[in-house]
């Protein structure tokens, strides 16, 4: 099975090289790595250009205009060829070694989609705002769609490649997470969760999501619960 790993990047000059090395260090996987830069302005692009020479097997794409994580993922998904696809944020909050755990769960749980749950695993340094925001959005997802998820907002969503390449993603920012979850569930695919590890970072360290994104996520859930 080939796993396509899509890495959206925006102003991550301090972490992009390390996360790429961590992805490549994961053993026992046939991996395809796709990096999409969302018009970074902090020198990240220069680092990526250098990494192209070091990692000729990695696919790099550069957007001319910043449009957000959701749009960067849409670009990346179009270039995947893997049987399954997962998103890897470039900020070191998630551990690529957990890929294997998610892949094993496909057979163990007899599901088509596997989410990595931070709240059933180990998490640290998550702010109170983000903790309760995640919990509320997950609760609303469960009510709307009749499921029992613990972490709808997780970055680690292991999804079938054919589904990802054919789904029409309209969200351009962090509202990607509720949109893709709604479309997975409305398509009839089953989601199961496995515990993963997580270490959050602060806004001073570069975290970009804010309370406004939580409001947008709420309206996105409502929107895609009642429309396509």
Using the predicted structure, report yes or no on whether residue 3 has a pLDDT greater than 90. Answer: yes
What residue ranges do the domains of the chain occupy? Answer: 2-226
Question: For residue range 16-54, what is the model confidence (pLDDT) as tens digits?
Answer: 999 999 999 999 999 999 999 999 999 999 999 999 999
CATH code given to domain 2-226:
3.90.550.10
Confidence label for 204 from pLDDT (cuts 50, 70 and 90): low
pLDDT value at residue 209:
65
Question: For residue range 117-135, what is the model confidence (pLDDT) as tens digits?
Answer: 999 877 766 777 778 888 9
Is 76:8 a contact under the CB 8 Å cutoff?
yes
Using the predicted structure, report yes or no on whether residue 218 has a pLDDT greater than 90. Answer: no
Alpha-carbon span 146 to 88, nearest angstrom: 27
Mean pLDDT, residues 78-84 taken together: 97
pLDDT value at residue 126:
74
Question: For residue range 163-192, what is the model confidence (pLDDT) as tens digits?
Answer: 999 999 898 777 889 999 999 999 999 999
Cα torsion for 14, 123, 171, 167, to the nearest 10°?
110
Alpha-carbon span 186 to 16, nearest angstrom: 34
Backbone Cα Rg of the chain? 16
Mean pLDDT, residues 90-95 taken together: 93
pLDDT value at residue 207:
52
pLDDT value at residue 193:
97
Using the predicted structure, report yes or no on whether residue 210 has a pLDDT greater than 90. Answer: no
Mean pLDDT, residues 105-123 taken together: 89
Using the predicted structure, report yes or no on whether residue 205 has a pLDDT greater than 70. Answer: no
């Amino acid at each position: 099975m080939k796993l396509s790993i899509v890495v959206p990047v925006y102003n991550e000059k301090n972490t992009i090289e390390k996360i790429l090395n961590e992805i490549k260090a994961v053993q026992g996987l046939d991996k395809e790595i796709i990096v999409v830069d969302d018009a970074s302005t902090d020198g990240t692009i220069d680092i990526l250009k250098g990494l192209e020479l070091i990692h000729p097997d990695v696919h790099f794409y550069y957007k001319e205009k910043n449009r957000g994580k959701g749009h960067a993922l849409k670009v990346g998904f179009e270039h995947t060829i893997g049987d399954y696809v997962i998103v890897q944020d470039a900020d070191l909050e998630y551990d690529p070694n957990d890929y294997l755990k998610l892949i094993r769960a496909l057979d163990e749980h007899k599901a088509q989609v596997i989410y990595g749950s931070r709240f059933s695993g180990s998490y640290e340094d998550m702010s109170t705002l983000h903790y309760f925001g995640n919990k509320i959005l997950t609760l609303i997802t469960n009510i709307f769609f009749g499921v029992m998820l613990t972490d709808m907002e997780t970055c680690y969503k292991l999804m079938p490649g054919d589904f990802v390449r054919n789904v029409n993603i309209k969200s351009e920012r962090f509202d990607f997470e509720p949109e893709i979850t709604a479309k997975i569930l409305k398509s009839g695919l089953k989601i199961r969760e496995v515990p993963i590890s997580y270490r959050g970072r602060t806004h001073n360290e570069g975290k970009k999501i804010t309370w406004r994104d939580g409001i947008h996520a709420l309206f996105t859930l409502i929107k895609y619960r009642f429309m396509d």
